[in-house]
Amino acid sequence: MAFIFMVSVAIKMGKGLYFADMELARIIKGDATRLDGRLLAFAHVANTQASPEHLQGMVHNGFLAVQGNYRDQRTLAEFFQSEFGLSLERGIEEVIDQNQEGAGLESALDPDLVRDRLRSMKDAAGSMPIPAKIVSVESPESALHFEGDVADLGHFDDLAFAHMAVNAYPILYQAIYRQQELLELQGRIESLLDQSQTSRPMSTFAGDVEEHLLHTLLPNILYAGDNSEEARHALAVFEDFLRPHLTEADLEAMLALIPVVRLGDTGSRRKLDLLLRRVAALHREDYKALDVIRHDLDALN
C-alpha cells in the first residue's frame, strides 16, 4: 500500500479572503473556479539517484504522481475502506509501518508515541485531509485522459522536493474544493429560500406577474443544470404558480416547450415568452395587450 500521508496546517484567513477567490495554479485540465473533486497531480523528477529507495520506487517514467478522490471520499475512514478495504484503525497502523520502513517524519519518533497519537486522531478523522495515493503517469498527454482535474506541479531536480510538492498540493486542492462546495450549498439555500417566498399561486402574488414569470421563474429553469435538483425544484415552482390559471392541456403544451428552449431553439423561446405574456395579460385583464399577443402567436404558427 503506497500513498502520501498528509499533515494538515490550520491557517487563519481574513474575513475578506476565501479559498474560492484564490487561483489554483497549474491546473492543465479542469476549471479551478469549479473543481471536480477528483485530482491527478504529477511532478517531473530529473534526478532520483541520491534519494531514499522507498521514494525512488514511487517514480515512474520520470514522474511522481498522486491521485485523490475528494468527491466520493469525504473522510479518512472512507479513504481507507474504499482504497484498501481497511478500517480506520488498521489504516493508521499501516501508515505507521510505512513511515517506519522509510525516512518519514514519524519514523524519527518513538513508534509507540506515534501510534498513540495517531489513534487519538480517530475522533477528528472526519475533518482531516484525505491522503492521495501514488499512481503511475506515462506522460502529461496521457494524464489528460484522467476523469477529473489534472495538475502539473512542475520540474524538480531533487526527488525530495517533488515529494514535498505532491504532499502539499492535494491539501490545498481539498481546501479549495470543500470551500467551493460550501459556497455553492449556501447559494442553493439562499436561492431556495428566495423561491419559497415567491412560489405562491399567481392569484395571491403581489408583484408584477409578467416580470416574475419571464425574469425569475423561467430563467431559474433554463439556467439550472440538466436533471439537477435545482431544475426540478424550479420547474415545480413554475407549475405551482401557473396551474390554477391554465387548463391542463395549455400547461402541458407550455412545459413541452421548455426542453426545446434549453437546447437553444429561438422560435420556441419566442413562443414560450408570448404564452407567458398572455397568461400575465389575462391575469391583469389587459385585453389590448392580449390582442397584440394573439396576433404575434398566430404569426408564429
What does the pLDDT profile of the chain (301 residues) look like in tens digits?
Answer: 444 434 333 333 333 333 334 345 589 999 988 999 999 999 999 877 777 777 888 999 999 999 999 887 766 666 666 666 766 666 666 665 665 554 443 333 455 555 555 555 555 545 567 888 899 999 999 999 999 999 999 999 999 999 999 989 999 999 999 888 888 877 765 665 555 555 556 766 777 889 989 988 998 888 887 778 888 888 888 988 888 888 888 899 999 999 999 888 888 999 999 999 999 998 888 988 999 999 998 888 7
- Secondary structure (3-state) at 40: strand
Q: What is the rounded distance in angstroms from the CA atom of residue 148 to the CA atom of residue 36?
A: 6
pTM assigned to the model: 0.50
First to last CA, the chain: 67
Q: What is the rounded distance in angstroms from the CA atom of residue 79 to the CA atom of residue 133?
A: 10
